[in-house]
Amino acid sequence: MQGTFGQVEFVPLPPRFAERVRWGSVVVGCSMIAGMVLLFGLTTFLQGIVHGHAFPDALVGKAATVLPPLGVLAIAVLVLSSRRCLRGDYLVVAIAASARNALVFTYVLTLVLIAGSFAVPIVFRVWRDASEFQAPDLLTTFSTLAFATLGFLAGVFYVRPSMQTLRKFSDHPIW
Protein backbone atom coordinates (compact mmCIF):
# COMPACT_ATOMS: atom_id res chain seq x y z
CA MET A 1 0.00 0.00 0.00
CA GLN A 2 2.98 2.28 0.32
CA GLY A 3 4.80 3.55 -2.70
CA THR A 4 8.00 5.49 -3.01
CA PHE A 5 8.07 8.18 -5.66
CA GLY A 6 11.49 9.81 -5.64
CA GLN A 7 12.58 10.51 -2.07
CA VAL A 8 9.11 10.93 -0.56
CA GLU A 9 6.88 8.11 0.66
CA PHE A 10 3.19 8.36 -0.08
CA VAL A 11 0.34 6.41 1.45
CA PRO A 12 -2.87 6.26 -0.57
CA LEU A 13 -5.92 7.44 1.34
CA PRO A 14 -9.58 6.81 0.63
CA PRO A 15 -10.92 9.86 -1.22
CA ARG A 16 -13.59 10.48 1.43
CA PHE A 17 -10.97 10.53 4.19
CA ALA A 18 -8.69 12.86 2.21
CA GLU A 19 -11.66 15.19 1.75
CA ARG A 20 -12.37 14.97 5.50
CA VAL A 21 -8.79 15.99 6.24
CA ARG A 22 -9.02 18.92 3.82
CA TRP A 23 -12.15 20.53 5.25
CA GLY A 24 -12.10 19.02 8.75
CA SER A 25 -8.72 20.48 9.61
CA VAL A 26 -9.97 23.94 8.66
CA VAL A 27 -13.19 23.55 10.67
CA VAL A 28 -11.44 22.21 13.77
CA GLY A 29 -8.55 24.69 13.62
CA CYS A 30 -10.78 27.73 13.11
CA SER A 31 -13.18 26.53 15.81
CA MET A 32 -10.30 26.16 18.25
CA ILE A 33 -9.04 29.66 17.47
CA ALA A 34 -12.50 31.21 17.83
CA GLY A 35 -13.22 29.22 20.99
CA MET A 36 -9.96 30.21 22.67
CA VAL A 37 -10.46 33.87 21.81
CA LEU A 38 -13.97 33.73 23.29
CA LEU A 39 -12.78 31.85 26.38
CA PHE A 40 -9.93 34.31 26.92
CA GLY A 41 -12.34 37.23 26.53
CA LEU A 42 -14.79 35.67 28.99
CA THR A 43 -12.02 35.01 31.49
CA THR A 44 -10.64 38.53 31.35
CA PHE A 45 -14.17 39.94 31.59
CA LEU A 46 -14.92 37.88 34.71
CA GLN A 47 -11.56 38.77 36.28
CA GLY A 48 -12.36 42.43 35.62
CA ILE A 49 -15.63 42.05 37.53
CA VAL A 50 -14.05 40.17 40.44
CA HIS A 51 -10.79 42.13 40.80
CA GLY A 52 -11.50 45.43 39.06
CA HIS A 53 -9.03 44.77 36.24
CA ALA A 54 -8.64 41.97 33.72
CA PHE A 55 -5.08 40.79 34.31
CA PRO A 56 -3.23 39.87 37.52
CA ASP A 57 -0.90 42.42 39.05
CA ALA A 58 2.17 40.17 39.20
CA LEU A 59 4.13 39.44 36.04
CA VAL A 60 4.09 35.70 36.75
CA GLY A 61 0.30 35.90 36.98
CA LYS A 62 0.09 37.67 33.62
CA ALA A 63 2.29 34.99 32.06
CA ALA A 64 0.14 32.25 33.61
CA THR A 65 -2.94 33.91 32.15
CA VAL A 66 -1.60 34.36 28.62
CA LEU A 67 0.69 31.38 27.90
CA PRO A 68 -1.75 28.40 28.06
CA PRO A 69 -4.16 29.93 25.51
CA LEU A 70 -1.17 30.62 23.27
CA GLY A 71 -0.26 26.93 23.49
CA VAL A 72 -3.78 26.00 22.40
CA LEU A 73 -3.56 28.49 19.54
CA ALA A 74 -0.30 26.83 18.46
CA ILE A 75 -2.09 23.45 18.42
CA ALA A 76 -4.89 25.03 16.37
CA VAL A 77 -2.37 26.31 13.82
CA LEU A 78 -0.83 22.84 13.59
CA VAL A 79 -4.27 21.31 13.03
CA LEU A 80 -4.95 23.92 10.35
CA SER A 81 -1.67 23.08 8.65
CA SER A 82 -2.30 19.33 8.63
CA ARG A 83 -3.69 19.81 5.12
CA ARG A 84 -0.14 20.17 3.86
CA CYS A 85 0.42 16.46 4.59
CA LEU A 86 -1.75 15.62 1.58
CA ARG A 87 -0.77 15.46 -2.08
CA GLY A 88 -4.00 14.71 -3.88
CA ASP A 89 -5.42 11.63 -2.17
CA TYR A 90 -2.01 10.58 -0.80
CA LEU A 91 -0.56 11.19 2.65
CA VAL A 92 3.08 12.30 2.55
CA VAL A 93 4.65 10.21 5.30
CA ALA A 94 7.62 12.49 6.07
CA ILE A 95 5.47 15.61 6.40
CA ALA A 96 2.87 13.73 8.46
CA ALA A 97 5.56 12.42 10.82
CA SER A 98 6.99 15.90 11.38
CA ALA A 99 3.48 17.30 11.91
CA ARG A 100 2.74 14.54 14.43
CA ASN A 101 6.00 15.24 16.30
CA ALA A 102 5.18 18.95 16.37
CA LEU A 103 1.70 18.16 17.69
CA VAL A 104 3.09 15.96 20.47
CA PHE A 105 5.70 18.55 21.47
CA THR A 106 3.17 21.40 21.46
CA TYR A 107 0.60 19.36 23.39
CA VAL A 108 3.11 18.40 26.10
CA LEU A 109 4.31 22.01 26.32
CA THR A 110 0.69 23.20 26.61
CA LEU A 111 0.04 20.67 29.40
CA VAL A 112 3.07 22.00 31.28
CA LEU A 113 1.83 25.57 30.80
CA ILE A 114 -1.66 24.62 32.03
CA ALA A 115 -0.21 22.91 35.11
CA GLY A 116 1.96 25.96 35.72
CA SER A 117 -0.97 28.35 35.38
CA PHE A 118 -2.90 26.18 37.82
CA ALA A 119 -0.07 26.34 40.37
CA VAL A 120 0.83 30.04 40.05
CA PRO A 121 -2.07 31.49 42.11
CA ILE A 122 -1.47 28.85 44.78
CA VAL A 123 2.25 29.59 45.10
CA PHE A 124 2.37 33.33 44.32
CA ARG A 125 0.20 36.26 45.31
CA VAL A 126 -0.87 37.49 41.88
CA TRP A 127 -3.62 39.97 42.86
CA ARG A 128 -2.82 42.98 45.07
CA ASP A 129 -6.35 43.16 46.46
CA ALA A 130 -6.13 39.61 47.85
CA SER A 131 -4.61 39.29 51.31
CA GLU A 132 -3.93 35.58 50.85
CA PHE A 133 -3.06 33.20 48.10
CA GLN A 134 -5.97 32.37 45.83
CA ALA A 135 -7.42 29.28 44.29
CA PRO A 136 -6.75 28.88 40.58
CA ASP A 137 -9.36 29.71 37.98
CA LEU A 138 -10.89 26.29 37.31
CA LEU A 139 -13.04 27.37 34.35
CA THR A 140 -10.06 28.54 32.36
CA THR A 141 -7.84 25.65 33.43
CA PHE A 142 -10.23 22.86 32.49
CA SER A 143 -11.52 24.61 29.37
CA THR A 144 -7.99 25.16 28.11
CA LEU A 145 -7.16 21.53 28.89
CA ALA A 146 -10.24 20.38 26.96
CA PHE A 147 -9.41 22.58 23.95
CA ALA A 148 -5.80 21.35 23.91
CA THR A 149 -6.76 17.68 24.21
CA LEU A 150 -9.47 17.81 21.56
CA GLY A 151 -7.21 19.70 19.17
CA PHE A 152 -4.38 17.23 19.72
CA LEU A 153 -6.65 14.23 19.14
CA ALA A 154 -8.12 15.77 15.99
CA GLY A 155 -4.65 16.58 14.67
CA VAL A 156 -3.39 13.06 15.29
CA PHE A 157 -6.53 11.68 13.61
CA TYR A 158 -5.66 13.69 10.50
CA VAL A 159 -1.91 13.02 10.28
CA ARG A 160 -1.85 9.41 11.51
CA PRO A 161 -5.09 7.65 10.61
CA SER A 162 -5.60 4.12 11.87
CA MET A 163 -6.42 1.22 9.56
CA GLN A 164 -9.89 1.06 11.13
CA THR A 165 -10.47 4.71 10.21
CA LEU A 166 -9.26 4.14 6.66
CA ARG A 167 -11.57 1.12 6.32
CA LYS A 168 -14.47 3.18 7.59
CA PHE A 169 -13.98 5.83 4.91
CA SER A 170 -13.07 3.45 2.09
CA ASP A 171 -15.34 2.25 -0.68
CA HIS A 172 -12.62 -0.07 -1.91
CA PRO A 173 -11.83 -3.48 -0.34
CA ILE A 174 -8.03 -2.95 -0.18
CA TRP A 175 -8.32 -1.42 3.27
Is residue 105's pLDDT more than 90?
yes
In a domain? residue 125: yes
In a domain? residue 1: no
In a domain? residue 40: yes
Separation CA 106–CA 86 (nearest Å): 21
| Average pLDDT of the residues in 37-43 | 94
Separation CA 46–CA 9 (nearest Å): 50
| Average pLDDT of the residues in 90-100 | 92
How many domains, in total, are found in the chain? 1
In a domain? residue 6: no
With a CB cutoff of 8 Å and minimum separation 6, the contacts of 76 are: 28, 29, 30, 32, 33, 36, 151
pTM of the model: 0.86
In a domain? residue 175: no
In a domain? residue 7: no
SS3 171: coil
126-169 pLDDT tens trace: 877 766 767 778 888 999 999 999 999 999 999 988 888 888 88
Average pLDDT of every residue of the chain: 88
pLDDT of residue 174: 58
First to last CA, the chain: 9
In a domain? residue 93: yes
- Expressed as residue numbers, the domain containing 20 is 13-169
